[in-house]
Amino acid sequence: LWSKLQYYARVFSPTKNANALIDTLELVMDDVKWFLFYLLLTMLGFVFAFFILFRQDDVRDFSSWWNSLATMYSYMLVMFDVNILYNSTNPLAAMVLFIIYEFIMTLMLLNIMIGIMTTCFDKATSTQGLPFLVSRAQIIDELESTLPRWALRRAWYPPFVHVLKAQPVSTYEISLNSVWSSIGLMESNLAEGAADTRKRLEVMERELTTVNQQLDLLIQQMMGRAMAAPAR
């Protein structure tokens, strides 16, 4: 039900609600998927390091690699108890490993991931015009093809033809500004072409007029010669 509500909410203005939530999440996940894979590999390295370091200690947080993974995830979210590290058999190595982990994961990689997500969100919001039109066209097509005939009132669904054509694979590759600028450029090119064609037609008309005058003069000369021939 929640996903359907999000799906139908995409027909509203993208500047007034979170109708682009699903599209934004898809775009963000597509851009950060390899970074998340690298983040997971880095975390797994520290998981096995802490699991090996605490193998001689009776600590539930590091009793298995699964518990170590859950503990490393909580450490990344700054939910930890340093007393476990101090009470280990090798507290110096545990603290050094903990400091390195917190510096790499919390201070570096998480901030980089936040920056990537911010860039993806700006990209999604700056090009949300065309995805909004695509979503509205999809909803219109679904409603007109699934609703019964008695629900299709003329006032709600006038007999219009909805045409939407987009060449790129992703709708985020086009912005409405570029679309309108392309249309304006096409109109100016058509106007210039029409003016050039009009000038060429005027030149051709003048040339045809000159040719007609020359033909008339030639015909008159030939008729004059034909009439003068019998008199001789």
3-state secondary structure of 225: helix
Provide the sign of the torsion angle of the four alpha carbons 61, 67, 68, 74, taken in this order: negative
Percent helix / strand / coil, the chain, rounded to 5: 75, 0, 25
What integer pLDDT is reported at residue 129 of this predicted model?
Answer: 63
What integer pLDDT is reported at residue 103 of this predicted model?
Answer: 92
Distance CA 60, CA 48 (A): 15
What integer pLDDT is reported at residue 134 of this predicted model?
Answer: 73
Q: State which amino acid sits at residue 141.
A: D
Q: Indicate the burial class of 128 (C-beta count within 10 angstroms; 0-12, 13-18, 19 or more).
A: buried
Q: pTM of the predicted model, to two decimals?
A: 0.52
Eight-state DSSP code of residue 130: H
Give the rounded distance of the alpha carbon of 126 from its chain centre.
9
Q: State which amino acid sits at residue 203.
A: V
Cβ-based neighbour number of residue 137 at 10 Å = 14
What integer pLDDT is reported at residue 41 of this predicted model?
Answer: 92
In the chain, which residues have pLDDT < 50? 15-17, 19, 171-172
What integer pLDDT is reported at residue 101 of this predicted model?
Answer: 92
The C-alpha R_g of the chain, in whole angstroms, comes to 38
Written as one string, the DSSP assignment of 141-156 is HHHHHHS-GGG--TTT
Distance CA 213, CA 157 (A): 62
